[in-house]
Amino acid sequence: MTDSNKDSHFVTVSMAEILLAQNMVSDTRKVIRSLLEIEPNNPRVLALVQRLDEVTQGEAQKLERIPEHGVDRIHLTRRDAAVVVAYEITDRGIAIAKSAARYSGRMVVRIFTAAPGPRGVRTVTRDFDVAVGAAALPLLGMQRPAVHVASVGYLANTGTFVPLAQTQAPLVIS
């Protein structure tokens, strides 16, 4: 018996629905991934994928709508062909980061990507300059299949990165 067959006894569509109803996005993703391996054409599973996308997209839109919530934060979501990074940087966070970097540098969103390659897992780190405040940054052409993690912070001229916030869960794109 293969590992995926063993998992099929423990992973159900109902389990994914319950997890999603409880807003347990990360666990829901794992269960849906397993279900897609077992039953890629199951209409209930495909409907769950769509609901999960709507929930995670809604989280990013909520973050985009809050201009000043007072907490340094960042969120990754997938919207159509783009990966969208929604972030907020507070004045207090900027002051702390600049002080740690000795006031020389710039605000960036740092994306860490891990993807399968011909010789194992390949990792890439990319920095995107961002404005202070709250915004959403669509990133096109992100590698897939891959796992993406983001952080927002201050990149000192010396190359030191002072993170202010990191995504709670990685964004898995298959």
Query: Per-residue pLDDT averaged across 21-37, rounded?
Result: 78
What range defines the domain where residue 91 resides? 67-174
Distance, in Å, from the CA atom of 52 to the CA atom of 50, rounded to the nearest integer, reads 5
- Which residue matches tokens 């020389």? 104
Tell me, yes or no, whether 75 and 155 share the same domain. yes
CB 86 within 8 A of CB 135: yes
Tell me, yes or no, whether 72 and 58 share the same domain. no
Length of the chain: 174
pTM of the model: 0.58
Instruction: For residue 169, give the CATH number of its domain.
Output: 2.60.40.10
- Between 171 and 4, the more confident residue is 171
Inform me whether the pLDDT recorded for 7 exceeds 50.
Answer: no
Number of domains in the chain: 2
Assigned token pair, 33: 């991934």
Inform me whether the pLDDT recorded for 149 exceeds 80.
Answer: yes
Assigned token pair, 29: 């993703």
- What was the pLDDT predicted at 6? 42
- Between 1 and 118, the more confident residue is 118
- What was the pLDDT predicted at 109? 93
Beta bridge partners of 79: 82
